[in-house]
Amino acid sequence: MKLGKIKSSKDDHKRGDEPAVLDMEDLDRKAMRLAGTLDPDTISLASVTAVTTNVSNKRSKPDIKMEPSSGRPVDYQISITVIEARQLIGLNMDPVVCVEIGDDKKYTSMKESTNCPYYNEYFVFDFHVPPDVMFDKIIKLSVIHSKNLLRSGTLVGTFKMDVGTVYSQPEHQFYHKWAILSDPDDITAGCKGYIKCDIAVVGKGDNIKTPHKANETDEDEIEGNLLLPEGIPAERQWARFYVKIYRAEGLPKMNTSIMANVKKAFIGENRDLVDPYVQVQFAGQKGKTSVQKSSYEPIWNEQVIFTELFPPLCKRLKVQIRDSDKVNDVAIGTHFIDLRKISNDGDKGFLPTLGPAWVNMYGSTRQYTLMDEHQDLNDGLGEGVSFRARLLLSIAVEILDTTSPEIISSTEVQVESVSNISESATGKIEEFFLFGSFLEATMIDRKIGDKAISFEITIGNYGNQIDGVSKPSSAKKKKKDGENEEEESELIQNSSEDEADEDGDLVSVSSTP
């Protein structure tokens, strides 16, 4: 599996999750396309188009017209109407429907002793968050046995789907559709009932159309009106999603707390100042590995297992390396994996499969200040500006046979250890040279331009002067990687004076004077 990002230009504007990089001549074409031919959904959310209008005065700032970038908060409103429920499984129940989006919960009224309650209640949720955060939120509908004390909170069944799935529907909504309820604590139980509802997601500038009323008899037919995107079968199967986390390397020196530095000065304690663990989020559930104390090259060899219906109604899996801290844990780097890109539903199709492969994480700059103003970049909002770490992982999915007797029926996230991966799994390590030359620089921001300036080229951690790798010999021979060879490249300037040391080591020079 190559981790490269070579895509045909055809897909370029359809994909919302990777920032689009535009050439100048591309801009005019893009501007013409944006002007009216394209439906707004297909415009990449993350792309930023700089249009320079005022060029006469040399120092004047270009007017930058921005489309909403993936990191900037936008207003969203989600409206959900819970109309009725049918065929709820249970005896003398007083059902209540709980509507949950992220951490917000709202409840309908309670209907007494019925298995097909009629509510027709309307809920509105307002959000002001970046698009990426919004579309990853999970909408969860659950039916609960009455609120009375004896049976309070007993769950009948739930249905969940991410906001992005709703937003990618025609008109950004599902209208009068039936959601199938399943029991997360017992995956062998089958369908626990149906809820009929409307769900609409409205972003800034979206126009809202109410669908024309179909005649009532059509809508009452449950099977033909399920709350599922097109192409997803009504009978979904339970599956296990295995995310194996092997190891990471190149982590930044995180801990800048004053105590740590004092300790270092007095006791000379030179431990690695980061306690990393990996947190995986999928379909509204979180799983995390153990914490590896004080390690810049942690080895976990653990797998996080999610049990979820397949195909899942949430597109992305979020993998985040975090630094465990007594006060609050900080994200070091985040990577999203789009499950549709690592699977194929054709004739010779395959379930989501990835790796073992190195995933590079990019985020905020590696200057160690107490307050990091670019922390959002490490949480996966916007495009990261510098290398944070790389993580070796693999993903596999297995469809479960719910009839077999020894199946675990709960959907709780499990974490297990896995065997070590062979050193050569990701290809053999080689040495590469990267050569770059700086000739001149112009139009540097005045804030910086008045001070002395130097430029540095880094690739991965190589050439990074704060905490990078400088010499091939000192780079441990552990780094093995076929996919990302350029990351291992060395920045080498080899001029006649310092031809080489006696043992033939070349000297890397990665920054200008």
**160-187 residue pLDDT tens:** 999 999 999 989 999 999 999 999 999 9
pLDDT of res. 302: 96
- SS3 category, 107: strand
Residue type for 369, please? Answer: T
Residue at token pair 């004896």: 150
Residue type for 83, please? Answer: I
Higher pLDDT, residue 121 or 47: 121
Give the integer Cα–Cα distance in Å for 235 and 451: 65
What is the chain's mean pLDDT, rounded?
Answer: 78
Mean pLDDT of 36-43: 42
- SS3 category, 237: strand
Close Cβ partners of 350 (under 8 Å, ≥ 6 residues apart):
343, 344
Q: Which helix (H) or strand (E) covers residue 77, if one does?
A: strand 74-86
pLDDT > 60? residue 292: yes
Residue at token pair 């194996």: 244
3-class SS letters over 21-73:
CCCHHHHHHHHHHHHHHCCHHHCCCCCCCCCCCCCCCCCCCCCCCCCCCCCCC
Give the integer Cα–Cα distance in Å for 131 and 44: 11
Q: Are 172 and 198 in contact (CB under 8 A)?
A: no
The C-alpha angle 41, 45, 51, rounded to 5 degrees, equals 110
**Comparing C-alpha atoms, which of 231, 229, 224 is closest to residue 345?**
231
Evaluated on CA atoms 208, 213, 218, 219, the torsion sign reads positive
pLDDT in tens, 237-248: 999 999 999 999
Strands (E) located in 344-385: 354-363
Higher pLDDT, residue 157 or 40: 157
Q: What percent of the chain has pLDDT over 70?
A: 71
Residue at token pair 């890397």: 508
Separation in Å, CA 475 to CA 188, 360, 495: 51, 18, 22
Task: Using DSSP bridges, classify how beta strands 276-282 and 316-323 pair: parallel, antiparallel or unpaired.
Answer: antiparallel
Alpha helices in 302-354 (DSSP H): none
Q: What is the pTM of this model?
A: 0.76
Mean pLDDT of 460-488: 48
pLDDT > 50? residue 489: no
Higher pLDDT, residue 260 or 335: 335
Close Cβ partners of 89 (under 8 Å, ≥ 6 residues apart):
115, 156, 157, 192, 193
Q: How much of the chain is in helix, strand and coil states, percent to nearest 5?
A: 15, 35, 55
Give the integer Cα–Cα distance in Å for 319 and 316: 10
Q: Which of 150-164, 376-390, 485-499 has the lowest mean pLDDT?
A: 485-499
Q: Are 198 and 178 in contact (CB under 8 A)?
A: no
Close Cβ partners of 410 (under 8 Å, ≥ 6 residues apart):
184, 185, 186, 187, 307
Q: How many CB atoms lie within 10 A of CB 100?
A: 19
Token duo for residue 397? 């999915």
Q: Which of 19-28, 371-380, 420-429, 443-452 has the lowest mean pLDDT?
A: 19-28
Higher pLDDT, residue 264 or 170: 170
With 0-12 CB in 10 A as exposed, 13-18 as middle and 19+ as buried, what is 326? exposed
Q: Which helix (H) or strand (E) covers residue 390, if one does?
A: strand 386-399
pLDDT in tens, 186-230: 998 889 999 999 999 999 888 877 776 665 666 678 888 999 998
Mean pLDDT of 104-120: 93
Residue type for 257, please? Answer: S
pLDDT > 90? residue 285: yes
Q: Is 188 left (phi over 0), alpha (psi -120 to 50) or beta?
A: alpha
Residue at token pair 């007017």: 63
Q: Which helix (H) or strand (E) covers residue 194, if one does?
A: strand 191-203
